[in-house]
Amino acid sequence: MEALHLPPEDLVAVRPTQYRAVLNRILETFTVYGAQGQERLWLWEGFKGEHFALPLDEPGGWHWLSRLVPPDEQVWLLAEDWDGQKLEGNYWLFRGRVGAIGAVLRELFAFEYYIVAKDFQWLLCETHHNMLIGVGTHITERLKAAAKLSPSSSDS
């Protein structure tokens, strides 16, 4: 965060005492797996409810964030533990501002992540298949509208 000149409070790891409750709420709200999804890879294979998938030309779903969510909006970030460092579960969980999350994602090698509204009304995911998936009416409508304005992600 320091290298990106972002205040540390703009992206904070969720405390261990809150981790399970927040993660379970995300899993229960957006997936058919529920709490049993903590160890799963590819949560997007089990999304439930209204969703919309936008194919991307290459990894870089973060390009779309500013068109979909205000940069100061507080959200949850669920990041896949791609190298197996977690002792429990398969995801790292953070709370932060969308603008800071976009800045961090821009610096990382492509991996699967999920951005979730603080009130659990919507979820946005980028998969390893270069798909940007929105779940929930609010984000699917915004994603569809943004896709109409920019037919190719390489234009973003």
Q: Say how many Å lie between the first and final Cα of the chain, rounded.
A: 24
DSSP label at residue 23? H
Is residue 3 scored above 60 in pLDDT? no
Could you tell me which residue, 137 or 112, shows the higher pLDDT?
Answer: 137
Tens of pLDDT, residues 17-26 = 899 999 999 9
Its pTM stands at: 0.85
Burial of 21 (0-12, 13-18, 19+ CB in 10 A): exposed
Q: Mean of the pLDDT values across residues 123-129?
A: 91
The CA radius of gyration of the chain, in Å to the nearest whole number, is 15
Is residue 8 scored above 80 in pLDDT? no
